[in-house]
Structure 1
């Protein structure tokens, strides 16, 4: 069966030292897993490039879309290959350009050659000139434009072969999933937490999620919204386990026994306690939140210090210094934004005080918690947690 060739390049992985073979092996596994939706795919590393061959009946755009979503992939190029010989390279390049003329009606081009194999007898500038001359002789409608060509044609000459391609389609980069442990994201239905999960996964961390609801004050549709968000994220990182916890009994106790203006910070401290216990139980290394410094009352510097005081586990906040507009742009890029803005309530809007404390004092908060049986409330919440397995959204 005829197959199309794709060059997959790693980004940050290429900078690794003695650990590079490990990262390359994991990245190859991730690409193979992602492309397993297609039949009879071949992939291997050769000289720092991952070469992928997919049956020609699979649309190139679909292969690129799937491969570029794998964390660790910097760029993807649909390519053609020939033996490292100038006559063969010239003929292959001319045939490549003829196909583009027929499909797109292009008029101008420029050749950019790179001689990776330094034993090859022709140097890079001369490779470019000779290949360009062959293209001009074969494709009469074309002319060279060194400043603004319609097609920048790359010719990459290596010992095992010469690769000819046009595009370097950007992937998300980062590190291969699974090379940096496992973390638990506190997942709301808002814009921020899905982006935070994505950014940690991009750094190679496997992600699990915990979601708090206040049923019946919050609806089943609100939970479905969070499941939909996780389903989009699963398209980048595979199946996600989401632990669902009803926070209402704790909220009712706080409202009954504690100052109203402290409700938000007290609820947040319970969320962190419960999340830490779930993380320990599920062997997660750290907690992850979508908090953005100063965005709301519970995300002031003082509030974050008070919140973190109840856990020993590291808390990662990848969005902490980002502007809200940048977070929204990233949510749109990864496909979570339209789901996040659906108008379904979450547990944080239940029993929301009119004037929440923005600069809480730890001693005051701890004094208020003396009116609560903290350990019993946390244990009951952890014991009641339900697990939902989220699969990628198709």
Structure 2
């Protein structure tokens, strides 16, 4: 594809947005804002919004560079590079031929579809289909028209101010604009599953913050840095800011290990994590918890275990991966760029103290009785929340922190949210 002939990019909104009725305008505005954020590295690019469409004025920027920035914007179902032409027959014919030739590998068959939005144009749509196709065929005699199943469809949209010509269409990320459907907290481990669950939640319009539990010195500093790297990758899909809440879990985990309830330790840990996350959610105005659970994958993800673990919180638990198998999850992880980091050999706290025979069908009454018998468990949970450190990450294309870290830490109790960019 030749990049430099195009003037603009036509963006099509996700199908889910188009059925939102009275809320559609809000979703479209949020999406337009995200497109502007994704393209802020490009000088003089203009984003124009019309009903059901967004147009990006390229202003001499190569299309492929702009397309790369658009591919991860949630809410876009597809987009196309467009060349503008004067609204007269000769200009449209010449531009159509340029766009067809810029397609790259020349096809054997094509068709022309003209939409005449400006009804005063002297030729109707059917006539324009023939006039444009004939011009292209004269210059490429080996080409044939195939109305039913063409390899390339050359489209022309005629408006009063200009005609817009394109033939290539690229699939977008789809879904809803990021943040359009509320806010949740993601339980982010260092494994393969949870970053994928986070990405799927983001794609459905959830604004996310991540919560990670570490057990220093049982878990290494490299394990924590691995999670920071995964959070930075998720930051890429937000277009703005992403928070990672680092929760110290050593004392609680050690107390569980000393409770002589080896088969229940994973259940107890997961329930404590949910209780801590629920408190953080209230502070951060989040209304759901997102996990990487996949039904039957490990002992804590059997139906019985998920039921007992989930009773620890009143917040809804969203499990985007619950019906996926590991191959599907890995495929998405590779696509979104988290897989290589996730398989680094640094253990998180959930892989420590794993019993030889964990309970796959724990009894809720027994679990609650064990919890009630652990001295100061509620106080330890409150202390873990108090000792949580929040890492705030922001996207910027030109600025960086003086020390090169790219992130700033702030204590959870801090009231300020004036965080640096990276």
- Smaller-chain TM-score bracket: over 0.9
Match of 1:46 among 43, 50, 53: 50
Q: Which residue of 2 aligns with 1:110?
A: 110
Number of corresponding residues = 389
Q: SS state of the match for residue 39, structure 2?
A: helix
The equivalent residue for 1:377 is: 380
Pick the aligned partner of 1:36 from 34, 40, 46: 40
1:78 aligns with 2:65: no
Task: Measure the CA separation in 2 of the matches of 1:23 and 1:203.
Answer: 12
CA distance in 2, matches of 1:190, 1:308: 20
CA contact (8 A) 2:156 2:165 kept: yes
3-state SS of the aligned residue for 1:131? helix
Give distance in 2, aligned partners of 1:241 and 1:250: 23
In structure 1, the residue matched to 2:264 is: 262
TM-fit CA distance, 1:242: 0.4
Which secondary structure does the structure 2 equivalent of 1:190 belong to?
coil
Cα offset, 1:53, TM superposition: 0.9
Distance 2:107 2:182 in 1: 50
The 8 Å contact of residues 69 and 171 in structure 1, kept in 2 or not, is answered as yes
Matched, 1:250 2:243: no
Q: Separation in 2 of the partners of 1:226 and 1:127?
A: 57
1:304-347 deviation per Cα after TM superposition (whole angstroms, max 9, x unaligned)? 11111111111111111112211111111111111111111010
What does 1:245-394 correspond to in 2, within 5 Å? 245-372=247-374, 373-391=376-394
Structure 2 partner of 1:168: 169
Change beyond 3 A, Cα 1:31–1:254: same
2:24 paired residue number: 20
CA contact (8 A) 1:297 1:303 kept: yes
- Bigger shift: 146-155 or 156-165? 146-155
Q: 1:142 to 1:96 in 2, by over 3 A?
A: farther
Q: Which residue of 2 aligns with 1:87?
A: 90
* Mapped partners of 2:129, 2:51: distance in 1: 22
Cα distance in 2 for partners of 1:391, 1:87 equals 49
Secondary structure of the corresponding residue to residue 294 of structure 1? coil
The Cα of 1:366 is off from its aligned counterpart by 1.0
Give the secondary structure class of the aligned counterpart of 2:282.
helix
Contact 1:23 1:179 in 2 (8 A): yes
CA drift of 1:148 comes to 7.3
Q: Residue 69 of structure 2 aligns with which residue?
A: 66
Residue of structure 2 equivalent to 1:226: 227
CA–CA distance in structure 1, aligned partners of residues 135 and 44 of structure 2? 35
Q: Deviations over 1:111-145 (max 9, x none)?
A: 331425273564444322211111223x2465225
> Is residue 10–residue 73 contact of structure 1 (8 Å, CA) maintained in 2?
yes
Closer, same or farther: CA 3–96 of 1 in aligned 2, 3 Å: closer
- Please identify which structure carries the higher helix content: 1
Question: Of residues 87, 100, 103 in structure 2, which corresponds to 1:97?
Answer: 100
Q: Secondary structure at 2:21's aligned position in 1?
A: coil
- Structure 2 match to 1:183: 184
Compute the displacement of 1:390 (Å).
3.0
Q: Match of 1:18, SS?
A: helix
Q: SS of the residue aligned with 2:381?
A: helix
d(CA) in 2 for partners of 1:180 and 1:105? 41
Q: How far 1:153 sits from its partner (Å)?
A: 2.1
User: For structure 2, which runs of at least 5 residues remain unmatched after alignment?
Assistant: 398-422
Deviation of the 1:385 alpha carbon = 0.3
Residues 226-275 of structure 1 show CA distances to partners (whole Å, capped at 9, x for unaligned) of 11111111111132100001111001111112411111100111000011
C-alpha distance in structure 2 between counterparts of 1:156 and 1:381, whole Å = 59
Shift of 1:295: 0.8
Deviation of the 1:14 alpha carbon: 2.3
Q: CA deviation at 1:51?
A: 0.9
CA distance in structure 1 between the partners assigned to 2:107 and 2:28 by the alignment: 39
Query: Quick check: 1:214–1:248 contact (8 Å CA) kept in 2?
Result: yes
Task: Give the stretch that moved more between structures: 335-344 or 271-280.
Answer: 335-344
Distance apart, 1:94 and its partner CA: 1.9
Closer, same or farther in 2 for the Cα pair 1:197/1:106, shift >3 Å?
same
> CA separation of 1:285/1:24 partners in 2, compared to 1, >3 Å: closer, same or farther?
same
For structure 1, which segment, 59-68 or 160-169, has the greater mean C-alpha deviation from structure 2 after superposition? 160-169
More deviation in 278-287 or 113-122? 113-122
Deviation at 1:87, TM superposition (A): 3.0
